[in-house]
Chains A and B, each alone.
Chain A
Amino acid sequence: MKRWIGPVLSFPVTAWLLLAFAAPMGVVVLLSLHEYPSPFGPVIQSPSLVQFVKILTDPFYLSVIAETVLLGLAVTAISALLGYPLAYWLARMPSKWRALSFAVILIPLLTNVVVRSLGIMLLLSPQGLINTFTGWFGIPPIETMLFNHGAVTVALAQVFMPFMVLALYDNLQNTSPRIHEAAESLGASPGMRFLTVDFPMSLPGLRSGVIVVFLMATTSYVSATLLGGGKVWTMGMLVLNEAISNLNATMASALSLVMTTVGLGFIALATLWLNRFMRWRQGVPSSPWTIPAWVAVLVDRVGPPLRYLLLFCAIGLLILPLVLVMIQSFNDVPLATAAGFKGFTLEWYRRVLIEGDYTRNFLVSVKLALVAVSIAVLLAMPAAFALARYPFRMRPLLLTFWMLPLSLPGVAIAVGMLKLLQVYLIIPPFAGLVSIHVVVILPFIITLLTTSAMTLDRSLEEAAASLGANKIRCFLLITLPGMAPGIFAAALVGFLMSFGEVTVTSFLTTARLTTLPVRIYSEATFALEPTAHAISALLIVVTTVALALLGKFVRLDRLYSR
């Protein structure tokens, strides 16, 4: 194999990240080494580790780190548990319904994180949906479901589970029906087949999902702030506090780097641990898992009802808060958070559709997301193939660098960008926002495309080559269509992430470039009207219709399942 292919394919994405991410990241590192915070001081000062010593010797910071990690682990575990049956359900969905059923995970991603958190609130509150429902059976309302770790965990799982599902979906869908037939012909029961075939083969997806969900959950702060009621502390909140309230960019940078280190540590551990079960991927001979007979019997008995129960919970968690958001969009109340239905009104829709309150912001967001996602997919495609097919010496190091934007809290990138603002102003604001959005979504696109490239059936390409197709023809007719579900998933996730990004954008926004989420977030800090719910409801309807149409015209499944 030609050794230069891997590095050449890796070059575009590396170059982009060096230009758009390494600079703010470098500033963050330099700031973290300051002895004292000085908002107007030079960036380069004689280095000191005093901030890190402070963090690592202060029981308060240590307890917040532990709290954040535990929260991240809980969210990851719930996302995996609920995400598995959902991904399995999506993968087995007849292809004409598949695009539409994707609405279940895509609509939550499209809804602003503030609005979704408010939806969770309407679900868990003492007069909320759950208590109303249990009340019908005479169960007294539980008043302690809100403003605690449980509420934050549920909200974060709702926000991040779609990423887990997307990571698992491609793997599960990719398991060829021939393998299932083989397993069945050898006498495996459905439970046994799941344990010995489907589950092991979905492990690469699980690994990506676990990493992505953990990193996103541990660096987030919006849901923890809204639903934690001050009782839940995360590192993201501390970073924000230091950077914004205290103007202490030095401590904020040091905290972010500690968080990044924790994140990288988790990636290493998760990869090492899960790789132990995937020896076959490295071509090492490995025997199939030995499953005790009673486990297989148990899985056969309990599996199907449990699967449907978890599926029901997963869909409920994703959709119910949004149903409440839609109901709230017709509610005649002055503020978005007001509980209880006071009366029907179309006022919020009038504001959105006729007065065009949000039109400009919406268009800015769409334009930004489209440009960012196109660039990101073009950059990530070669990188994904470099990772999947052309190993080279620097690969692990590069991969770590590519994943760094994911483990660095968004607010830290913003702190770095703010310091660079004097330089940044020379660049047109739109180009600047695009470049940083590409940075934020690249880790996801690379992860999803790599998983997709790894699971491509290479025998199909070999067959094409043996029938005389040259490399380009083979790529266009076999590889690219084979990657279609992966590209579709990656582009969608990228689009939705860029569309919803608020942390970094709110620092870099200008008068003419205010995105929709920044607008909603800005109103939430003052007094959010149900107009935000109305625009979310409109987006939900438009997305569902678009997906239904997409399913009619575009084939998004694998070649061999046609």
Chain B
Amino acid sequence: MALNRRQFTGLMAAGLAAPASIIRPAYAQPKPGDELVVGIWGGAQEKIVKKHIEPKLVEKYGCKVSYVLGGTGERRARAYAERGRPSFDVLYLNIYESRQAVADGVTQPASPAVPNYEYLYPLARKGGYGVAFNPCTIVYDKTAASAPITSWKDMWNPEWKGRIAWPNGLGAEGISALMMTAKAWGYSIEEFDKVVEKVKELKPFAGIQGSQAQLFDMLDQNVADLSVEFASFTRMYAESRNPNCAIATPVEGQAVTMNVACITEGTRNQKLAEEWVNLHLSPETMLAYANEIYYSPTVNNVEIPPELEGKVITAGNVDSLVDFDWDYINAHRAEWQAKYDREIAG
């Protein structure tokens, strides 16, 4: 029997995970009145999980769900401070933070103890349970472009000089912009200095955008014409506020970024946490995310309705997303941040 790559990876993962499930300690069954503490972003994500996950969990176990809302940074800082005796049970992190958190023993790696694990794309099994693909790409004002952008190299077209809002620091957008620069111009990840030199050719920047909200203001106010941002939010922005805003599909690919649900090491509500994550990975929640904020499913058992085709990542194009060596990036983060501050932003 011939195995395709996905089946092979699945078998390998199942094989590796099998011993883990044998030696898994017995966790207490959830009982009514138990409280699950979830750390998540406020706003739309909070609303979606409250609507699609919480009621089912509460109905099944009679438990209570409480939320700690905030940015990823504060949440992660707190989880690190509480390693081993966490106040969170489930923690939502970005792709690079989640992998680091597993390596640092703050959160658990993904495991088949969550039934929907088997449907996760391999990419979404790293650093916890990927719950949404949210690729980063070039977004721009098409009225300012002489031709549609088809490559990351197009940013170096002189028509964008002084009109680029480069993303701040080494967050998801910042790393995507830097790493896609490396890929487009043929630099290896070890050649960060060359990447910085290449990006410096784009200066002066119209600004450094610190968040999507700030970028959208910059585009609205005609302060900048081009940046690197999450495709999902930008699509919502383009549809609701700015029809001139275009989202590029460069030949080199879009950079993968992902929201990850992480179960903390040492949680006292292991079963509830697993059930929560399982509900998040259910087709219904995945579709709610896709419909409401154009987040792409990370599981392969979701039927994407035709009206969302081309707006979210579907099974056929998951492989086109460009992933990076996050271990290498995380190991060099401080050094890169210092260079970024001085050479690019400074």
Q: A and B, one complex? A: yes
> Interface of A with B (CB < 8 Å)?
37, 39-40, 60, 63, 121, 125-127, 143, 146-147, 225-226, 229-231, 233, 241, 243-248, 333-339, 418-419, 421-422, 425, 506-507, 509-512, 514, 518-519, 521-529
CB distance from A1 to the nearest CB of B (A): 48
Known A231-B208, A334-B236: A60·B104 in contact at CB below 8 Å:
no
Point out the residue from A125, A510, A526 that lies within 8 Å of B221, measured CB to CB: A125
Contact partners of A522 in chain B: CB under 8 A: 41-43, 69-71
Chain B interface mostly helix, strand, loop or mixed?
A: mixed
Given contacts A506-B71, A509-B70, 12 further A-B contacts (CB under 8 A): A126-B221, A143-B223, A230-B208, A241-B337, A241-B341, A245-B171, A335-B241, A339-B221, A521-B70, A521-B71, A525-B42, A525-B211
Point out the residue from B35, B104, B207, B333 that lies within 8 Å of A229, measured CB to CB: B207
Contact partners of B85 in chain A: CB under 8 A: 422, 425
CB distance from B214 to the nearest CB of A (A): 7
CB distance from B2 to the nearest CB of A (A): 45
Contact partners of A231 in chain B: CB under 8 A: 207-208
Known A60-B342, A226-B214, A248-B334: A334·B221 in contact at CB below 8 Å:
no
Known A338-B220, A421-B78: A528·B213 in contact at CB below 8 Å:
yes
B20 interface hit (Cβ, 8 Å): no
Known A229-B207, A527-B212, A529-B43: A421·B82 in contact at CB below 8 Å:
yes
Contact partners of B341 in chain A: CB under 8 A: 60, 241
Separation of A69 and B35 alpha carbons in the complex (Å): 47
Contact of A339 with B45 in the complex, beta carbons under 8 Å: no
CB distance from B191 to the nearest CB of A (A): 22
Q: Which of B151-177 contact A (CB under 8 A)?
A: 165-166, 168-171
Known A246-B334, A521-B70: A147·B223 in contact at CB below 8 Å:
yes
Contact of A246 with B74 in the complex, beta carbons under 8 Å: no
Separation of A506 and B168 alpha carbons in the complex (Å): 22
Known A230-B209, A514-B68: A244·B74 in contact at CB below 8 Å:
yes
Contact partners of A248 in chain B: CB under 8 A: 334
CB distance from B223 to the nearest CB of A (A): 6
The contact string, 1 if C-beta is below 8 Å from chain A, for chain B 208-248, is: 11111110111011110000000001001100110000000
Instruction: Give the residue name and chain of the A residue nearest to B168 (CB).
Output: A230
CB distance from A487 to the nearest CB of B (A): 34
Separation of A225 and B168 alpha carbons in the complex (Å): 10
Contact partners of B45 in chain A: CB under 8 A: 526
Top 7 A-B residue pairs of the complex, sorted by shortest distance between their CB atoms: A230-B208, A511-B66, A522-B42, A244-B73, A229-B207, A525-B71, A522-B69
B16 interface hit (Cβ, 8 Å): no
Known A335-B213, A527-B233, A528-B213: A229·B223 in contact at CB below 8 Å:
yes
Contact of A419 with B43 in the complex, beta carbons under 8 Å: no
Contact of B170 with A245 in the complex, beta carbons under 8 Å: yes
Contact of A418 with B77 in the complex, beta carbons under 8 Å: yes
Contact partners of B104 in chain A: CB under 8 A: 39-40
CB distance from A447 to the nearest CB of B (A): 29
Point out the residue from A246, A333, A525 that lies within 8 Å of B333, measured CB to CB: A246
Contact partners of B324 in chain A: CB under 8 A: none
B11 interface hit (Cβ, 8 Å): no
B192 interface hit (Cβ, 8 Å): no
Q: Can you list 21 A-B pairs, Cβ within 8 angstroms, ordered by A?
A: A39-B80, A126-B222, A143-B222, A147-B218, A229-B208, A229-B210, A241-B337, A247-B80, A333-B240, A335-B240, A337-B216, A418-B81, A419-B81, A421-B78, A421-B81, A421-B82, A506-B74, A522-B71, A525-B42, A526-B44, A527-B44
Contact partners of B168 in chain A: CB under 8 A: 230
Separation of A241 and B80 alpha carbons in the complex (Å): 16
Contact partners of A146 in chain B: CB under 8 A: 217, 221, 223
Contact partners of A225 in chain B: CB under 8 A: 210
Instruction: Give the residue name and chain of the B residue nearest to A124 (CB).
Output: B221
Separation of A557 and B83 alpha carbons in the complex (Å): 54
Contact of A245 with B217 in the complex, beta carbons under 8 Å: no
Contact of B67 with A511 in the complex, beta carbons under 8 Å: yes
CB distance from A504 to the nearest CB of B (A): 11
Point out the residue from B69, B78, B212, B334 that lies within 8 Å of A519, measured CB to CB: B69
Contact of A418 with B221 in the complex, beta carbons under 8 Å: no
B202 interface hit (Cβ, 8 Å): no
B346 interface hit (Cβ, 8 Å): yes
CB distance from B42 to the nearest CB of A (A): 4
Contact partners of A37 in chain B: CB under 8 A: 334
Of listed B68, B74, B78, B346, residue having the most chain A CB within 10 A: B74
Separation of A422 and B266 alpha carbons in the complex (Å): 14
